[in-house]
Structure 1
Amino acid sequence: MSTAQTENDWRVLTKSWIESELQTSKTKLPNNLRMEIQIGQLDTRLSLSPCQKVEPFMPAGTVLWGRSRIGLRCASQDARWQVFMPITVKAYGPALTLVSNLPAGTLLTSDHIQEAEVDWAANASPIVLASQEWLGKSLSRNVSLGEALRESMLKAPPTFAAGTKVKLLLKAPGFELASEGQSLSPGKLGEQVRVRLDNGRIVTGKVVDERTVWVSF
């Protein structure tokens, strides 16, 4: 590639452009995040014509979070080309991390966590901070010492256990009927569960509270 010096200018331009974009979106992010931008290099096999005016742009579906890419296009009359520059956006800030390796299914308590600074953008799953979002929930997978608490690693405990007697609300166009049955699996709020009616019939419905399942026909 014969435009090494020009590429360095583009990298400076790209970083400045990203910083401006991040400032614009600051309202969507916590104020205490410390942003760090790393600009990669273009493919060395490229051979681009000299360009007097290069403009960065955001490719469709791109987010300025973690590993990504920014488009560069020549906007002058002397050349017409478009390339993509690899970038990494890091966002350092306080988070809750695990104090030890823990297996899937562990019910989280305050003894399992501590506060530390992490890169929020290292994973697409949102960071979890508020105690009501994690306290009493269990881990959906094995986790390692130092991992930050994120939504994807948490699951809510069952609303009721398998074998629980539950109330069924049977709804169909024109009528509504209440009945009872026995859950065949643990029920979780908002999720589907199978229930056996007293006559032996098995139906599937949505858990709406700690003892009620809504079945639509």
Structure 2
Amino acid sequence: MHAPFSRRRRLAITCLILAAAGPGVGSRAASARTAELSGSARPVIEQFLLAQAGGLPGKVSIRVETPMSGALPACDALEAFLPAGARVWGRVSVGLRCNGDGSTTPAWTRYVPAYVAVVANYYVASRPINAGDTVGPADIQLRQGDLSALPRGVLTNPQQAAGMVASNRIALGAPLRLELLRGATVIQQGQSVKVQSQGSGFVVSTEGRAMTNAAAGVAIQVKTQAGQMLSGIARADGSVELPN
């Protein structure tokens, strides 16, 4: 009989504590953490992030939030920067530096949370693709979404998958990623290949034997009939091109 009463008593005490704290305390705290930043610092950060994201595909949108420390001090000479190694999409922490005059305006540095969304086209598998399968146009399907919420290396151009071979199994609907694909083998180890070197107004060619397998565009070593080892790039037609 005592155990149920004890549980009811603990529940009643918990309710009294929550009521005393006031309604919506948790929601207000969450709102404070995610409130958008106001003031002159916001456009400085937005312009900085837009410039940094200029080379990204798709439509970029930026949300700048108020840091946990609260509103930023006043400053007329703000400079935004990113920490070393930070990427420019998804959730980022933007450094903001005030170059004060040392008297009326002291110098300070703060870090401001922001979210950079990049909405663009990307491609998924339209069927289960097994390791070793060559990926064709019928095997990929267009999607649109926030690239910052997807794995790195997701394909945004269908040409990136043209003629590629799956190195792992790719499930139906899974985003296609560069690390899941490899080039089709155009030269087999031990194969006799033509080795070419081109220059201004001349082409020199010889025969050799491939020392490894290679896909188009991949470096490969070739042993000539004279026993010389040459390094070149495998071409789609099965020949090897030597660097100039």
TM-score by length of 1: 0.66
Conserved? CA contact 1:68–1:88, under 8 Å: yes
Change in CA separation of 1:36 and 1:153 when aligned onto 2, cut-off 3 Å: farther
Q: Report the 3-state secondary structure (helix = DSSP H, G, I; strand = E; otherwise coil) of the residue aligned with 2:186.
A: coil
Give the residue type in structure 1 aligned to 2:75: K
Matched residue pairs, number? 203
Conserved? CA contact 1:49–1:79, under 8 Å: no
Distance 2:49 2:168 in 1: 32
Distance 2:217 2:72 in 1: 58
Distance 1:52 1:99 in 2: 53
Deviations 1:29-64 (A, max 9, x none): 55x63635364744x6xxx99722374612365553
Conserved? CA contact 2:36–2:64, under 8 Å: no
- Correspondences of 1:92-103 after superposition (within 5 Å): 92-99=119-126, 102-103=129-130
Distance 2:71 2:238 in 1: 69
- Correspondences of 1:14-29 after superposition (within 5 Å): 16-21=43-48, 28-29=55-56
| Structure 1 position 157 matched with structure 2 position 184 | yes
Deviations 1:118-174 (A, max 9, x none): 2223455363323x3312212344544444334444322122223321113479xxx
* Equivalent residue, structure 1, for 2:208: 181
Distance 2:115 2:60 in 1: 14
1:198, distance to aligned residue in structure 2 (A): 3.5
Give the residue type in structure 2 aligned to 1:72: L
1:206, distance to aligned residue in structure 2 (A): 0.9
* Equivalent residue, structure 1, for 2:75: 53
| Structure 1 position 120 matched with structure 2 position 147 | yes
* Equivalent residue, structure 2, for 1:89: 116
Give the residue type in structure 1 aligned to 2:156: V
| Structure 1 position 129 matched with structure 2 position 157 | yes
| Structure 1 position 167 matched with structure 2 position 194 | yes
Conserved? CA contact 2:193–2:240, under 8 Å: yes
Distance 1:27 1:51 in 2: 29
Q: Percent sequence identity over matched residues?
A: 19
Q: Report the 3-state secondary structure (helix = DSSP H, G, I; strand = E; otherwise coil) of the residue aligned with 1:121.
A: helix
* Equivalent residue, structure 1, for 2:137: 110
Any gaps of 5 or more consecutive residues in structure 1? none
Structure that is richer in helix per residue: 2
Distance 1:86 1:93 in 2: 23
Distance 1:99 1:20 in 2: 38
Change in CA separation of 1:169 and 1:127 when aligned onto 2, cut-off 3 Å: closer
Give the residue type in structure 1 aligned to 2:82: P
Give the residue type in structure 2 aligned to 1:135: A
In terms of Rg, which structure is larger? Answer: 2
| Structure 1 position 37 matched with structure 2 position 37 | no
- CA RMSD in angstroms comes to 4.2
| Structure 1 position 68 matched with structure 2 position 95 | no
